Structure 1
Amino acid sequence: MYWDNAQLSDSVTEYISHNIDQALRLSEEMFYKAFDNSPNIMIISTIDAKRILKVNKSFVRITGFSSQDAIVNNPLLLNIISQEQLEIIRKKLKAQEEIQNLETNFLTKNGEVRVGLLSIDTIELNGQSHLLLNMNDITDKINLEKEMARLERLNLIGEMAAGISHEIRNPLTTVRGFLQLFKIRNECLHQQEYFDLMIDELDRANSIITEFLSLAKKKATNKRLTNLNNIIQNLAPLMQADAVSAGKSIRLELTPIPDLLVDEKEIRQIILNLTRNGLEAMGQGGHLTIKTLRQEDEVLLSVQDQGSGISPEIIDKIGTPFFTTKDNGTGLGLAICYSIATRHGARIEIDSSPAGTVFAVHFPLA
């Protein structure tokens, strides 16, 4: 068969064009597979970032928004990018500056604030320019680092407590003994109020040291299989008395739970500390709710108040020894709760809003 040059040229052009189209389709197919299966949040938007065209599975899993939610709204409405950050991004894109690992906060559908590292690239799809947003969610990493730092501080304080508390308590005991001897002497009878004041102050210092000793990492514990509900019910009259005297009330919502291997005295201390903190956080007429329930392989103890909540900048400091927002507090109550929880392999989580605060202690099953 005879082919002239024009026919041959058209055939070659058609062959090359076909191969290019195939290569482009294959390339886009591979891109979409990588895009959809990436562990990072990935979004394809219009070049002006005003409309989302496609999101991947990780976007749906992490944010809680469906693909349809994303496509019918713009990134601002979904709180994926704040207005301020969007302006920064637009300026950088206009100046053709690189956007890599820009730390940003974003909200999930249920209102949880998470932290991500945002990178943005310009890509060509179907002959048009689009933005590819890649968000690496680092929230869990940040929380783990904070928890490790908190435990490290707590361990350091605990080691100090074990090392110096006895050395401080011994001379205090000696001073208190001599003050009691002087107090009963005839020549000192007219100064009784001064001796009483000094003894009271020494007793207060001694009680703080006793609390301080509770932070010791290697503090001996006497663990036995015990039911949290029994401990709470035994403490109920004492807690109700505290609440009534302050014009408040306590509700118990206890559900059947398995026994735990715990030190009953230490668990009593956690419950009393959290309860008294909750009562102090509320005004008159407030209700404090204490709950227990089983969650998979854990038993949950929660104490919920109706106070005004804890500000975000303070939450990170909660549990730090000697940090307190109370006028007469020692800053050891919650630190002791965290120390006891650590000795029991438990963890404490805080959920706070202007409507109140929940302290939840998660105990592993024995």
Structure 2
Amino acid sequence: LLSNSRAQNLLAKSEYRYEGKSLSALLEESLKNQKVFYDPIRLLDGRSRRLDVELGVWRLLDEDQKPWGVLCTIDDITYRKMMEEQAVQDEKLVYAGKLAAELAHEIRNPLAGIRVGVQVVERHSSSETDRKLCETIIGEVDRINLLVENLCHLTRQRKLQKTLIDVAELYQEVSLLYSKIAENSHIELLSDAPPGILLYADKSAVKQVLINLINNSIKAMKTGGTIVMKARAQESRILLCLSDDGEGIPPEKMKAKSRNGGMGLSIVSQLLQKNDGTFRLESAPGKGTKAMMTFPR
């Protein structure tokens, strides 16, 4: 058996498996059973890292047409496959972005009319019950607007513009944005960020992360409560934390969220990764939820 160094390196990667078999085992099976792999094979290791290969097997015949050997080729096409998949994903994002923009335009226009109309009704209403109903409607309209913005943000590809962000000022901006929504939902939104904590990141992205997390908290707090945004600076990192005293998330739902999240958590993960941040969620039924973000300093 003669093989070059590249083939030896690939065959030595026994941690990568396809249907429980290593690459060397697959090659032996192909030679023994004359099995042909027409399509590329994707092998995965224990950490779900991938190795995409194409196997080629050719029988070698002498001048009398008698077999005298076999030539096997192993092509590592992992990078090529990743680029092909990225191209498909980019094409989908372009289409989804156009669709999201059209939907946002069609949804926001009637929502603006509804909001103004309800505000007019609220001003002329003499019934406390009717005024509270109007406030609830306005709060829900604002929430739909934020969901539409989330949809647009998910499909929008924008170059990051990293700057030094004053976290206390950012928290103040978010609090102002949510003041009416929180009031209508009987929620107190608090900020606990010492002055002078500076975070090097894309401000729009971090703001969107906070918006998504606050949206999730508001949804979980059916009867009101408290949301607290905290920030702390350590020697080598900056910690941001958003906690609520809502109903919490059961363990089985926490597992599902950690696997695939919802649209809001998907955006959170994407934006934090682009800003070199990490994300961790802690929750338990009846004990609220805590979202913790860590950034390098």
Give the TM-score, by structure 1 length: 0.43
- 2:63 matched to 1:114? no
Spell out the pairing of 1:219-234 with structure 2 (5 A cutoff): 228=162, 231-234=163-166
| 1:201 Cα deviation from its structure 2 partner | 0.3
**Whole-angstrom distance in 2 between the partners of 1:218 and 1:112:** 26
Q: Secondary structure at the match of 1:192?
A: helix
- 2:15 matched to 1:79? yes
Match of 1:168 in 2: 107
Structure 1 alignment gaps of length 5 or more: 1-43, 46-53, 64-69, 255-263, 281-286, 293-302, 306-310, 316-323, 342-346, 353-357, 361-366
Cα deviations across residues 207-252 of structure 1 (Å, max 9, x unaligned)?
Answer: 2233444467699x9x9xx7x3xx234237657x99x979xxxx98
| 1:337 Cα deviation from its structure 2 partner | 4.8
**Whole-angstrom distance in 2 between the partners of 1:234 and 1:57:** 51
Quick one: which of 200, 205, 210 aligns to 1:270? 205
CA RMSD of aligned residues (A): 5.9
- The percent identity for this pair of structures is 16
Quick one: which of 20, 25, 33 aligns to 1:95? 33
- 2:99 matched to 1:150? no
Q: Secondary structure at the match of 1:84?
A: coil
Match of 2:79 in 1: 140
Return closer, same or farther for 1:122/1:100 CA change in 2, 3 Å cut-off. Answer: farther
Cα deviations across residues 108-143 of structure 1 (Å, max 9, x unaligned)?
Answer: xx995321112345679xxxx876542211211221
Conservation of the 8 A alpha-carbon contact between 2:55 and 2:72: yes
| 1:92 Cα deviation from its structure 2 partner | 4.2
**Whole-angstrom distance in 2 between the partners of 1:332 and 1:237:** 25
Greater displacement, 177-186 / 81-90: 81-90
Return closer, same or farther for 1:148/1:111 CA change in 2, 3 Å cut-off. Answer: closer
Q: Secondary structure at the match of 2:21?
A: helix
| 1:348 Cα deviation from its structure 2 partner | 8.7
Match of 2:4 in 1: 55
**Whole-angstrom distance in 1 between the partners of 2:41 and 2:212:** 35
Spell out the pairing of 1:176-325 with structure 2 (5 A cutoff): 176-214=115-153, 228=162, 231-235=163-167, 238=170, 267-273=202-208, 325=261
Q: Secondary structure at the match of 1:205?
A: helix
Q: Which has the larger radius of gyration?
A: 1
Whichever residue aligns with residue 166 of structure 2, its letter is N
Q: Secondary structure at the match of 2:15?
A: coil
Conservation of the 8 A alpha-carbon contact between 1:183 and 1:189: no
Return closer, same or farther for 1:135/1:81 CA change in 2, 3 Å cut-off. Answer: farther
Return closer, same or farther for 1:104/1:333 CA change in 2, 3 Å cut-off. Answer: closer
Whichever residue aligns with residue 136 of structure 2, its letter is L
Structure 2 alignment gaps of length 5 or more: 62-67, 176-189, 217-231, 242-254, 280-292
